[in-house]
Chains A and B, each alone.
Chain A
Amino acid sequence: MRSRRTSRAMGVAAVALLALSACAANTGTETPEETAEGEGTGGNIRIAEVNAFSSFNASSSEGNVDINGVIAYSTHSGFNYIDNDLEVVENEDFGSMEVLSEDPLSVRYTVNEGVNWSDGEPVDGGDLLLQWAIESGYFNDAVTDDAGEVTSGTTYFDYAGDTTGLALTELPEIGDDGRSITLNYSVPFADYQVAFGLMNEGGLDTPAHVLADKGGLTDEDALIELIRTEPAGDPENPVERPELKAVADFWNTGFDTKSLPDDPTLFLSNGPFIASAVTPDQSMTLTRNPDYDWGPMPKVDEITVRYIGEAPAQVQALQNGEVDIIAPQASADTAEQLEALEGVTVVRGNELSYDHLDLNFSGVFAEESVREAFMKTVPRQQLVDSIIKKLNPDAEPVDSQLFLQDQEPYEESAANNGSEAYAEVDIEGAKELLDGATPEVRIMYNRDNPNRLNSYTLIAESASQAGFKVVDGGLGASDWSAALGNGTYDAAVFGWISSGVGVSNVPQIFKSGNGSNFNGFSSSEADELMEELVVETDPDAQNDLQVQIDKLIWDSKYGLPLYQVPGMNAHSDNVSGVEYMPNLTGVWWNFWDWQIAQ
């Protein structure tokens, strides 16, 4: 009885409240707006990024930041892209890339008719020529001394990518259709497929008509004329080129901005999306480019990028439905938090960076048997189990110096290069090789990186069992990389990043005397094979050569690759089509497949 009375009283109170709201003032908000702004057919997907956008030119050294790269990737088109099997996929809707002859290597790039910048101007031969001029370093005539100071001449376009490939080509001619250029290489270039117009590197991202205008030239034809008539840069006889310098200076810094410029020509798109709103250091909105039909069609109408630096903040934003996709820095805590969430899918995989142990070919390790003995003591499986497994349960030690597990030839190379000898720790074998000697080994690593510190600890412990006297040569984050190759240590644990596609990295690390060859590895046989490799254009032949080089490296007791760094992204179950991608394009690689699940 009583409870009925109380509930009746409450009902009366509720009715009274309702009555009160009935006599409320006219606020004009009685009918909630039904209009769904920004909500077309495909909807809106929100993704969290760690860094904040800073430039519409991701190819200059100032703009070369991951976030600028993915914005360039989603707002520009190109001749091909890399998929998550690390295969090159041609984008024939955009244009064609035709090998006219294998030797001498000659490739023709043609943009299809109807491919336009978002201001209506066609993407044409002038754009191709300008892109080539930027990426080939054709005009550069700067000379630098040992300290890195420019002593004479000028570097025009401050291009952050590698110019060595296109530097092999001569000044190209624009084809008669006005939409093509032909690149003629002086020697065959192994990575020619990804040397020009690769979407992962921004595709065709500089509109020539805009740069001509901003650089103080009358029109695009004047820029074409300038590129064609100015002589190639010659460091011996540097020449002043004020007109070109003005153009290059604008390219270097003119597209840097944290907000949306008032001048729409500064962020022209020729890809699926176009930037529509930017809040500096907070967020960026990309909306569908209405003209775009030359390549993979995105399923969503709008992508909102929000910058959230901290991994836990990204996880909570995902949990709170403020973002749909996150790609935080992988860590055990983050993995645990994400696993605990409902309605969230975690996608794991390997990144293309890997840690490795390099032994110097000098000092205590000058003797091959000592190197071999040390390699036998390295507990690679234990490293993977204790450092990586909690992030990526499928992780295994890397068994190749040239290929990573995501690359197709990995299995073949790993089976062939003799890596199985180091699959298990062999203390006895190491002792035998040392024959009672107790060499002192100083290992250098980045002490501020917990994974490297763990690696060092486990390696040192195991090596000392075989009689090595291990000295901790770890340095702080600000010092360790400067110490690389300076001879103050005997072994180093650090990381490389593989490009996944292409072979230019191989000689950079392993060729005698090259820039990133820190441990003094030198094999005339391998050098010859690498010389062959960089001019080999057939992918299968490239793989054969690399398998041979891999074996030579292992046979020389170079050191050991340890593990691939795990990566992780997560998305809400409202979104489908998100797939893991090991390379730097990351989760964005197939943004056109993202869609709102119904």
Chain B
Amino acid sequence: MVTYIVRRLVTAVLILFGASFVVYQLTALSGDPLEDLRASNAPNREQLIQARTELLDLNTPAPLRYFGWLAGAAKCLVPFAATCDLGSSIQGEAVTTSLLRAMGNTITLVTTATVLAIIIGISLGIITALRQYSGLDYGVTFMSFLFFSLPIFWLAVLLKEFGAIGFNNFLADPQIPGSTIVVVAIASGLIWALFAGASWKRKAVAFVLGAAAAAVLLTVLELADWFSDPGLGPIVILVTGVGIAFGIVLLTAGLRNRRALYASLVMVALGLVAYYVVNPILNAATVWMILAFAVLTVLVGIGVGYALGGYDRGQSMRAAALTGLLMGLLIVVDRFMVTWPAYVGNPRVRGRPIATVGAETPGLEGTFWITGLDTFTHLLLPTIALLLASLASYSRYSRASMLEIMNMDFIRTARAKGLSERTVVMRHAFRNALIPLATLVAFDIGALIGGAIITEQVFAFSGMGQLFVQALQRTDPDPIMGFFLVAGILALVFNLVADIAYSFLDPRVRVKA
């Protein structure tokens, strides 16, 4: 195994050398950095051309210039010496500085979308596999391919038009027209019907229920002026919490495990108490405080699960901890909602919260909750755009993988020995279906830092993609090489990680060292 990894790493270094040389030459050939100056009629044209020639060392042929860059980049390999020199942009900023900043921005932009795409995509894939060739299956397949094939710049423009400009106009005067309620109700009914079981009768009932629920909900929310003054309140938190407790227990332990259910319900009750006790403390919240509360919640959940758990404590502990976490999430969401009117009314936001460009409202100052909402309103649309575009691959892969597993002999064996369907699906099939996805996820995390060039461009987000595009427009090789170095190294490393992880997860695949 070690020899295998070493061999892969050595190849990776060689690949990086070759590729970086090629990329450097391509960049140098991609344009003329003097284009604007050559056609200039400024009286000091010659002087400007000379200054830029010197700045970019244009008199040295590009293949030789590459080694100058390489000499600087090689210093990055000296550990702890802080001698890293990746050059600087035409405007004089060190590439290391701009790379760090761009990476940070990209990670904030892409992480949520990727995590959500993985969770939602895999869940959809599993569900559609279990209901193969049903209306739900066809519906999900259609939608995911539709979003996959929509050009993302167009999707982004539509999102801005309706999700930001339209929604902000609506918020200025939150009146929902009757026609909208009807459309939303029908849509909701259709979705419910899709998820409902096979018989037409059940579908009809689900449709009616879903449509009615959506219509009533919208009307009540409108009457209560919920859109300008949102919040969950203790009752909604309690009801949702109980729902969550049942759902979690259903998935992790099965409802017949009464002890797990009681542990989860205890966590809901504790969550409701925490809602009153913790909220005043949350005025001075920071990210670390929230994280500390999350850890505490998990510990309490484990404790409760242990105390109530009986002979299979693990299941109760897991269920209670998960329920506790989700209760905490509800409290945090409620808190954000309660802060919403103050955010919208802030003079910097001027009553139009959902943003179309950038990562923050310039000059906005406020508590953790205000700045958190600000990040939310700025990241919402790009995240949706990225999420919709990447749902397809995850849902398709996981559907295929799940279908394959469900037809395996060991599933039949599991059923034959009388295991409940929940155990068969969750324990025997689901886990094994995830193995092939490990590769996909590893690749995607590697590609994550590479940035989303078009999305960043459309939403004026200054991440890695922008760094690359802008440097390319100026024929500025150093930032491009910095970008390439980061993206290339990550691609190679995560490729290796994917292979190794696969061999660990699936004992049938063993590396021949």
**Residues of chain B with a CB closer than 8 A to A507's CB:** 43
**Residues of chain A with a CB closer than 8 A to B341's CB:** 32
Q: Is A430 an interface residue (CB 8 A)?
A: no
In the complex, which of the residues A18, A316, A497 contacts B165, with contact meaning CB atoms closer than 8 Å? A316
**Residues of chain B with a CB closer than 8 A to A160's CB:** 48, 51
Docked CA distance A475–B50 (Å) = 24
**Interface-lining segment among B1-9, B87-95, B477-485, B503-511:** B87-95
Query: Contacts A29-B342, A282-B462 given: A11-B356 contact, CB under 8 Å?
Result: no
Chain A residue nearest in CB terms to B97: A258
Query: Contacts A52-B462, A54-B93, A319-B165 given: A482-B32 contact, CB under 8 Å?
Result: yes
Q: Contact check, B223 vs A10: say whether CB atoms are below 8 A apart.
A: yes
Docked CA distance A446–B282 (Å) = 61
User: What is the CB-to-nearest-CB distance from B194 to chain A, in angstroms, rounded to a whole number?
Assistant: 28
Query: Contacts A281-B101, A482-B38 given: A29-B54 contact, CB under 8 Å?
Result: no
Docked CA distance A160–B55 (Å) = 13
User: What is the CB-to-nearest-CB distance from B329 to chain A, in angstroms, rounded to a whole number?
Assistant: 16
**Residues of chain A with a CB closer than 8 A to B356's CB:** 313, 316-317, 320, 322
Q: Contact check, B44 vs A163: say whether CB atoms are below 8 A apart.
A: yes
Q: Contact check, B462 vs A479: say whether CB atoms are below 8 A apart.
A: no
Q: Contact check, B35 vs A481: say whether CB atoms are below 8 A apart.
A: yes
Q: Contact check, A497 vs B40: say whether CB atoms are below 8 A apart.
A: yes
Residues of chain A from 478 to 524 with CB closer than 8 A to chain B in the complex: 478-482, 484, 494-497, 504-505, 507-509, 515-516
In the complex, which of the residues A11, A18, A316 contacts B160, with contact meaning CB atoms closer than 8 Å? A316
What per-residue 1/0 map shows which CB atoms of B262-281 lie under 8 Å from chain A? 00000000000001100110
**Residues of chain A with a CB closer than 8 A to B59's CB:** 147-149
Q: Is A100 an interface residue (CB 8 A)?
A: no
In the complex, which of the residues B38, B92, B234 contacts A20, with contact meaning CB atoms closer than 8 Å? B234
Docked CA distance A20–B220 (Å) = 13
Q: Is B164 an interface residue (CB 8 A)?
A: yes
Q: Contact check, B223 vs A496: say whether CB atoms are below 8 A apart.
A: no
What per-residue 1/0 map shows which CB atoms of A303-336 lie under 8 Å from chain B? 0101111101100110111100000000000000
Q: Contact check, B224 vs A17: say whether CB atoms are below 8 A apart.
A: yes
**Residues of chain A with a CB closer than 8 A to B223's CB:** 10-11, 13-14
Q: Contact check, A26 vs B462: say whether CB atoms are below 8 A apart.
A: no
Query: Contacts A313-B459, A478-B30 given: A320-B165 contact, CB under 8 Å?
Result: yes
Q: Contact check, A322 vs B355: say whether CB atoms are below 8 A apart.
A: yes
Chain B residue nearest in CB terms to A161: B44
**Interface-lining segment among A60-68, A264-272, A412-420, A435-443:** A60-68
**Residues of chain A with a CB closer than 8 A to B282's CB:** 27
Residues of chain B from 314 to 348 with CB closer than 8 A to chain A in the complex: 335, 338-339, 341-342, 345-348
Q: Contact check, A277 vs B363: say whether CB atoms are below 8 A apart.
A: yes
Q: Is A465 an interface residue (CB 8 A)?
A: no
Q: Contact check, A10 vs B363: say whether CB atoms are below 8 A apart.
A: no
In the complex, which of the residues A44, A150, A285, A309 contacts B460, with contact meaning CB atoms closer than 8 Å? A309
**Residues of chain A with a CB closer than 8 A to B347's CB:** 36-39, 44
In the complex, which of the residues B39, B55, B276 contacts A62, with contact meaning CB atoms closer than 8 Å? B55
Q: Contact check, B93 vs A505: say whether CB atoms are below 8 A apart.
A: no
Q: Is A279 an interface residue (CB 8 A)?
A: yes
User: What is the CB-to-nearest-CB distance from A516 to chain B, in angstroms, rounded to a whole number?
Assistant: 5
Q: Contact check, B219 vs A164: say whether CB atoms are below 8 A apart.
A: no
User: What is the CB-to-nearest-CB distance from A2 to chain B, in angstroms, rounded to a whole number?
Assistant: 15
**Residues of chain A with a CB closer than 8 A to B236's CB:** 20
Q: Is A253 an interface residue (CB 8 A)?
A: yes
Q: Is A477 an interface residue (CB 8 A)?
A: yes
**Residues of chain A with a CB closer than 8 A to B40's CB:** 497, 516
Q: Is A1 an interface residue (CB 8 A)?
A: no
Q: Contact check, A10 vs B357: say whether CB atoms are below 8 A apart.
A: no
Chain A residue nearest in CB terms to B457: A310
Query: Contacts A281-B466, A283-B358, A320-B168 given: A54-B92 contact, CB under 8 Å?
Result: yes
Residues of chain A from 10 to 48 with CB closer than 8 A to chain B in the complex: 10-11, 13-14, 17-18, 20-21, 23-29, 32-33, 36-39, 44, 46
**Residues of chain A with a CB closer than 8 A to B460's CB:** 306-310, 313, 317
Docked CA distance A162–B40 (Å) = 13
Residues of chain B from 441 to 495 with CB closer than 8 A to chain A in the complex: 457-460, 462, 466, 470, 475
In the complex, which of the residues A14, A25, A322, A496 contacts B41, with contact meaning CB atoms closer than 8 Å? A496
Q: Is A216 an interface residue (CB 8 A)?
A: no
Q: Is B132 an interface residue (CB 8 A)?
A: no
Report the tally of A-B residue pairs with Cβ distances under 8 A: 234
**Residues of chain A with a CB closer than 8 A to B39's CB:** 480-481, 484, 494-495
**Residues of chain B with a CB closer than 8 A to A369's CB:** none
In the complex, which of the residues B55, B93, B275 contacts A25, with contact meaning CB atoms closer than 8 Å? B275
Query: Contacts A29-B338, A312-B157 given: A321-B38 contact, CB under 8 Å?
Result: no
In the complex, which of the residues B55, B164, B233, B345 contacts A61, with contact meaning CB atoms closer than 8 Å? B55
Q: Is B226 an interface residue (CB 8 A)?
A: yes
Q: Is A158 an interface residue (CB 8 A)?
A: yes
**Residues of chain A with a CB closer than 8 A to B234's CB:** 20, 23-25
Q: Contact check, A10 vs B352: say whether CB atoms are below 8 A apart.
A: no
Docked CA distance A21–B279 (Å) = 14
Q: Contact check, A13 vs B220: say whether CB atoms are below 8 A apart.
A: yes
Q: Is A546 an interface residue (CB 8 A)?
A: no
**Residues of chain B with a CB closer than 8 A to A124's CB:** none
Q: Is B53 an interface residue (CB 8 A)?
A: yes
Q: Is B254 an interface residue (CB 8 A)?
A: no
Docked CA distance A36–B348 (Å) = 9
Docked CA distance A173–B34 (Å) = 39
User: What is the CB-to-nearest-CB distance from A159 to chain B, in angstroms, rounded to a whole number?
Assistant: 9
User: What is the CB-to-nearest-CB distance from B53 to chain A, in angstroms, rounded to a whole number?
Assistant: 5
**Residues of chain B with a CB closer than 8 A to A18's CB:** 224
Most buried by A among B47, B97, B338, B365: B47
**Residues of chain B with a CB closer than 8 A to A127's CB:** none
Q: Contact check, A28 vs B220: say whether CB atoms are below 8 A apart.
A: no
Q: Contact check, B48 vs A316: say whether CB atoms are below 8 A apart.
A: no
**Residues of chain A with a CB closer than 8 A to B275's CB:** 25
What per-residue 1/0 map shows which CB atoms of B155-194 lie under 8 Å from chain A? 0010011001100100000000000000000000000000
Docked CA distance A147–B51 (Å) = 12
Residues of chain B from 124 to 173 with CB closer than 8 A to chain A in the complex: 157, 160-161, 164-165, 168
Q: Contact check, B458 vs A313: say whether CB atoms are below 8 A apart.
A: yes
Q: Is B72 an interface residue (CB 8 A)?
A: no
Q: Is B11 an interface residue (CB 8 A)?
A: no
**Residues of chain A with a CB closer than 8 A to B29's CB:** 478
Chain A residue nearest in CB terms to B46: A515
Docked CA distance A26–B49 (Å) = 66
In the complex, which of the residues A17, A256, A477 contacts B220, with contact meaning CB atoms closer than 8 Å? A17
Docked CA distance A18–B216 (Å) = 16
**Residues of chain B with a CB closer than 8 A to A38's CB:** 347-348, 363
Docked CA distance A502–B466 (Å) = 38
Query: Contacts A63-B92, A508-B43 given: A280-B462 contact, CB under 8 Å?
Result: yes
**Residues of chain B with a CB closer than 8 A to A322's CB:** 352, 355-358
In the complex, which of the residues A21, A149, A277 contacts B362, with contact meaning CB atoms closer than 8 Å? A277
Q: Is A362 an interface residue (CB 8 A)?
A: no
**Residues of chain B with a CB closer than 8 A to A478's CB:** 29-32, 35, 475
Docked CA distance A24–B338 (Å) = 10
A sample of 21 inter-chain contacts (CB < 8 A) reads A20-B234, A25-B279, A32-B345, A38-B347, A38-B363, A52-B462, A55-B91, A61-B52, A62-B90, A148-B58, A155-B51, A253-B92, A256-B91, A258-B98, A258-B101, A279-B362, A284-B362, A285-B363, A306-B357, A306-B362, A316-B165
Q: B residues within 8 Å of A by Cβ?
A: 29-32, 34-36, 38-55, 58-59, 90-93, 97-98, 101-102, 105, 157, 160-161, 164-165, 168, 216, 219-220, 223-224, 226, 231, 233-236, 275-276, 279-280, 282-283, 335, 338-339, 341-342, 345-348, 350, 352, 354-360, 362-363, 365, 369, 457-460, 462, 466, 470, 475
Which 4 A-B pairs give the minimum distances between C-beta atoms? A281-B462, A481-B38, A25-B279, A283-B362
Q: A310-B458, A508-B43 are in contact. List 8 more A-B contacts (CB 8 A).
A: A25-B276, A33-B342, A38-B363, A65-B91, A164-B43, A316-B357, A322-B358, A478-B31
